Amino acid sequence: MTAQIIDGKAIAQKIKEKIKAEVATLGKKPGLAAIIAGDNPASKIYVGMKRKTCKEAGIYSEEHKLPEQATEKELIELIRKLNNEDKIDAILVQLPLPPQISTEKALNEVAIEKDVDGFSPANVGKLMAGNENMVPCTPKGIIRLLEETGTKIDGKSAVIVGRSNIVGKPTALMLLNRNATVTICHSKTSNLAEHTRKADILIAAAGKPKLITADMIKKGAIVIDVGINKADGEISGDVDYKQAKEKAAAITPVPGGVGPMTIAMLLENTLKLHKERKQK
């Protein structure tokens, strides 16, 4: 069996075009403010890509850079200022933050009506209770990829490898909300393969290249590779793609799978927040 390659880039492009067309009909542009604190090179690339895509879709964006030594107070003051700026509908705090800043405290400062990543405790609580009004972009992109490929989630066994607050846990909740039977694996899971082999839907989000080999995949599974690993100038996922695509029914490539969907969902969430604020 050779798997269907889930073309996240093409699916994301269609979503972006739809958003662009809708934005063009609006009197005022939706506005996104991205905050980067520190010198993380990956964060700079991600924010650069997000802003470029915003521009293509006609969404206003601005970037706020804070130095590596920035204090928690400085970041919180900036978030509060942006909370009160009318042209800003969406605030994105790029993670990770420098160690002297509490991520929890910072995310808690983002006004719920501007929380584009759904990371504020209020939105996390809502997701937990089954309310998906504003959910994080990567998990939302993963679910959309599954839906776009016609994957039935209800009643399926879904295994997520990774339990982070930004990918693993919210993805698990979204799958649970759709009636999957969900298993969350992590770095302390003993015998990972025993779990992954039972997955009808396997989500790899560990950040470990080739962690998931073909023998760990159930024949005919849907495999979503979230990992972005850089080595020797190459980008690869967490799944041994070449071998896995002979075993899975469908699989996402890296790059060109979940990555572009995350950005498309950011645009979608920004537009949603803009429309909701206009209605108030």
Q: Is 200 a catalytic residue?
A: no
What does the alpha-carbon distance between residue 236 and residue 259 come to, in Å, rounded to a whole number?
12
Residues 242-261 that bind ligand NAD (CB under 6 A): 258-259
Q: Is 50 a catalytic residue?
A: yes
Question: Which of 89, 114, 115, 117 is flagged as catalytic?
Answer: 117
Sign of the alpha-carbon torsion through 21, 22, 25, 26:
negative
Cβ–Cβ under 8 Å, residues 58 and 24 = yes
Q: Does 32 bind ligand NAD (CB under 6 A)?
A: no
Least distance from ligand NAD to the Cβ atom of residue 222, Å: 16
User: Contact with ligand NAD (CB under 6 A): which of 43, 103, 164, 243?
Assistant: 164
Measuring CA to CA, which residue among 201, 192, 194, 195 is closest to residue 158?
A: 201
**x-or-dash pattern for ligand NAD, window 60-89, by CB under 6 A?**
------------------------------
Q: Is 94 a catalytic residue?
A: yes
Q: Is the preceding omega at residue 255 within 30 degrees of 0, hence cis?
A: yes
Angle at alpha carbon of residue 266, lines to 263 and 267, rounded to 5° = 95
What does the alpha-carbon distance between residue 195 and residue 81 come to, in Å, rounded to a whole number?
46
Least distance from ligand NAD to the Cβ atom of residue 205, Å: 4
User: Contact with ligand NAD (CB under 6 A): which of 161, 221, 223, 248?
Assistant: 161
| Binding window for ligand NAD (CB under 6 A); candidates: 104-112, 123-131, 183-191, 194-202 | 183-191
Least distance from ligand NAD to the Cβ atom of residue 76, Å: 23
Query: Which DSSP string do the residues of 115-174 spell out, in sequence order?
Result: BTTS-SHHHHHHHHTT--SS--HHHHHHHHHHHHTT---TT-EEEEE---TTTHHHHHHH
Contacts with ligand NAD by CB under 6 A lie at 138, 161-164, 166-168, 185-187, 189, 192, 205-208, 211, 226-229, 258-259, 262
Residues with catalytic roles = 50, 94, 117
